[in-house]
């Protein structure tokens, strides 16, 4: 079995309030080595057998039409990962 991974992130030009909240929590915890945190979404689409070009095309279509909001988010990656044993 293989997994198609879709990664979606807020558009770079938009504020990320959740990321800012995490960054604030890090700083309050004494972790100060980071200057920005951005939160996104990861979707895993499990495929029985080998991933085909049709699977990837469907995943890209889903990523743009269903899994992300094109006004505020970018689809960063659609890739195949091996399923953990």
> Which residue reads 């499990």 in tokens?
46
Q: How far is CA 55 from the centre of its chain?
A: 18
CA 83 centroid distance within chain: 17
Selection from 38, 15, 35 nearest residue 27 by Cα:
35
Query: DSSP state, 71?
Result: T
Q: What is the full per-residue pLDDT of the chain (85 aa) written as tens digits? A: 899 999 999 999 999 999 999 999 999 999 999 999 999 999 999 999 999 999 999 999 999 999 999 999 999 999 999 777 6
* Predicted TM-score of the model (pTM): 0.86
């Amino acid at each position: 079995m293989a997994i198609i991974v879709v990664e979606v992130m807020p558009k770079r030009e938009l504020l990320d309030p959740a990321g800012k909240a995490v960054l604030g929590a890090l700083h309050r915890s004494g972790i100060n080595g980071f200057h920005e945190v951005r939160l996104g979404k990861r979707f895993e689409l499990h495929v029985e057998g080998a991933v085909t070009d049709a699977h990837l095309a469907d995943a890209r279509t889903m990523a743009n039409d269903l899994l992300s909001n094109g006004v505020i988010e970018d689809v960063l990656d659609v890739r195949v990962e091996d399923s953990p044993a």
